[in-house]
C-alpha cells in the first residue's frame, strides 16, 4: 500500500469498506467528506475534505475569508452542513447539537473569546465540565452526599486545569479582569475540563506576544501526552511550522493543499493564495 509523505496510507480508488479499514489503520479521529456550507448564494465551504489523525496536531490555514472558522462551526454543531459528512471516531455527527458534540468528546475555543465574564476563573473552568455531570437538579437542591462528592471532583479537575495553564493564582478573579493572553489560556482550560478526545482551537495565539506564543506551542505539544488530538486554525506561521504534524490549506472554501508543514510552506499554490489575497487588500 502506498503512503503519503507523513506515513499515512493513501486512499486512491478504494471501495467504501476499504476506506473504513484504511481509516482504522491511519487512526483517523475526525474526517469531513465533501463538506459544504452555504449562506444564501455564498458557498463558504465547498466539497471540503479534511482528516485529523489520532495523537497529532493538525493545522487548518488559509487567507482571511477562506472558510476555516465555518468548518469549525459545522464540525462543532453551531452550523448544520448543507452537504457532505462530518465523521468523528466513526460516527456521523449530522444533526447533533453543540452540547451533544461536546459529550461525544470534541471541545473547542473561539476566535473571539467566549468566557463567562462575570464568573471567576475557577467557576469558568468548572462550567466546562457540565457535560460530564451526573447529578440532577434534585440532588443540587437537597445537597445529597453524591452531589457534594461530584462537586468536589469537579472543583479538583478545575484546579488541575487552572494549574496546568498557570492561572491557579487567578482562580478567584473575574474572567473579565485578567489579561487578554490569560483569557485565551482560561478558555483552553475550560475546554480541557470537559476531558475531550479532540481539542479544536480557533487562532489560539491571536493577541499573544512572541514569548507567550512560544509557551503556547510547548504547552500544546505537552497535551499530546494526555492522549489528546489537536486541530487548530492559526495565522502565525511560526506557530504552524513549530507545532504541526500535518497542515491543510483552504482558499475560497476549497482545499488547495495539504502535507507536512515544510511542504505546505514552500508550495507555490499556497504562496500564490496568500500573496494574491495581500495584493487584493492593497489594491
Instruction: Read off the pLDDT of each residue in 136-164 and give the average, rounded to a whole number.
Output: 74
**pLDDT at residue 29 is higher than 90:** yes
Q: What is the pLDDT of residues 78-121, one digit of tens each?
A: 999 999 999 999 899 999 999 999 999 999 999 888 899 999 99
Question: Cell 475531550 identifies what position?
Answer: 196
Sequence ranges of the chain with CATH classification 3.40.50.300? 1-105+196-283
**What percentage of the chain reaches a pLDDT higher than 70?**
82
Paired residues of 51 in beta bridges: 31
- Which pLDDT band holds residue 142 (cuts at 50, 70, 90)? very low
Is 17 a residue whose pLDDT tops 80?
Answer: no
**Are 71 and 204 a contacting pair, CB within 8 Å?**
no
Amino acid 283: pLDDT: 35
pLDDT tens column, 185-239: 999 999 999 999 999 999 999 888 889 899 999 999 999 999 899 999 998 888 9
Closest by alpha carbon to 194, among 128, 125, 97, 98?
Answer: 128
Model confidence at 23, in pLDDT bands (50, 70, 90)? low
- Residues 30-56 have pLDDT tens digits of 999 999 999 999 999 999 999 999 999
Which pLDDT belongs to residue 140? 44
29: CB partners within 8 A, 6+ apart: 52, 53, 54, 88, 89, 197, 198, 229
pLDDT at 280 over 50: no
Three state DSSP letters for the chain: CCECCCCCECCCCCCHHHHHHHHHHHCEEEEEEEEEEEECCEEEEEEEEEEEECCCEEEEECCCCCCHHHHHHHHCCCCCCCEEEEEECCEECCCCCHHHHHHHCEEECCCCCCCCCCCEHHHHHHHCCHHHCCCCHHHHHHCCHHHHHHHHHHHHHHHHHHHHCCCHHHCCCEHHHCCHHHHHHHHHHHHHCCCCCEEEEECCCCCCCHHHHHHHHHHHHHHHHHCCEEEEECCCHHHHHHHCCEEEEEECCEEEEEECHHHHHCCHHHHHHHHHHHHHHHC
The pTM of the full predicted model, rounded to 2 decimals, is 0.82
Q: Cβ-count burial of 22 within 10 angstroms (0-12 exposed, 13-18 middle, 19+ buried)?
A: middle
CATH fold of 1-105+196-283: Rossmann fold (3.40.50)
Amino acid at each position: 500500500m502506498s503512503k503519503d509523505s507523513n506515513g499515512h496510507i493513501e486512499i486512491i480508488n478504494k471501495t467504501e469498506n476499504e476506506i473504513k479499514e484504511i481509516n482504522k489503520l491511519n487512526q483517523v479521529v475526525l474526517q469531513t467528506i465533501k463538506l459544504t456550507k452555504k449562506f444564501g448564494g455564498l458557498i463558504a465551504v465547498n466539497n471540503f475534505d479534511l482528516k485529523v489523525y489520532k495523537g497529532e496536531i493538525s493545522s487548518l490555514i488559509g487567507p482571511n475569508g477562506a472558510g476555516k472558522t465555518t468548518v469549525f462551526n459545522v464540525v462543532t454543531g453551531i452550523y448544520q452542513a448543507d452537504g457532505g459528512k462530518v465523521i468523528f471516531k466513526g460516527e456521523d455527527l449530522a444533526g447533533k447539537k453543540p452540547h451533544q458534540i461536546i459529550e461525544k468528546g470534541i471541545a473547542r475555543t473561539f476566535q473571539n473569546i467566549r468566557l463567562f465574564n462575570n464568573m471567576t476563573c475557577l467557576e469558568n473552568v468548572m462550567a466546562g465540565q457540565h457535560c460530564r455531570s451526573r447529578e440532577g437538579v434534585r440532588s443540587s437542591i437537597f445537597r445529597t452526599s453524591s452531589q457534594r462528592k461530584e462537586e468536589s471532583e469537579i472543583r479538583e479537575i478545575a484546579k488541575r486545569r487552572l494549574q496546568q495553564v498557570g492561572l491557579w493564582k487567578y482562580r478567584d478573579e473575574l474572567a473579565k479582569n485578567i489579561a487578554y493572553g490569560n483569557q485565551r489560556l482560561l478558555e483552553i482550560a475550560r475546554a480541557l475540563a470537559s476531558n475531550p478526545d479532540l481539542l479544536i482551537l480557533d487562532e489560539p495565539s491571536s493577541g499573544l506576544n512572541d514569548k507567550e506564543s512560544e509557551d503556547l506551542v510547548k504547552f500544546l505539544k505537552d497535551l499530546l501526552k494526555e492522549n489528546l488530538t489537536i486541530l487548530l486554525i492559526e495565522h502565525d506561521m511560526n506557530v504552524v511550522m513549530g507545532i504541526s504534524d500535518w497542515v491543510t490549506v483552504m482558499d475560497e472554501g476549497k482545499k488547495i493543499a495539504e502535507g507536512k508543514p515544510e511542504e505546505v510552506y514552500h508550495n507555490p499554490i499556497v504562496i500564490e493564495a496568500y500573496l494574491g489575497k495581500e495584493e487584493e487588500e492593497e489594491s
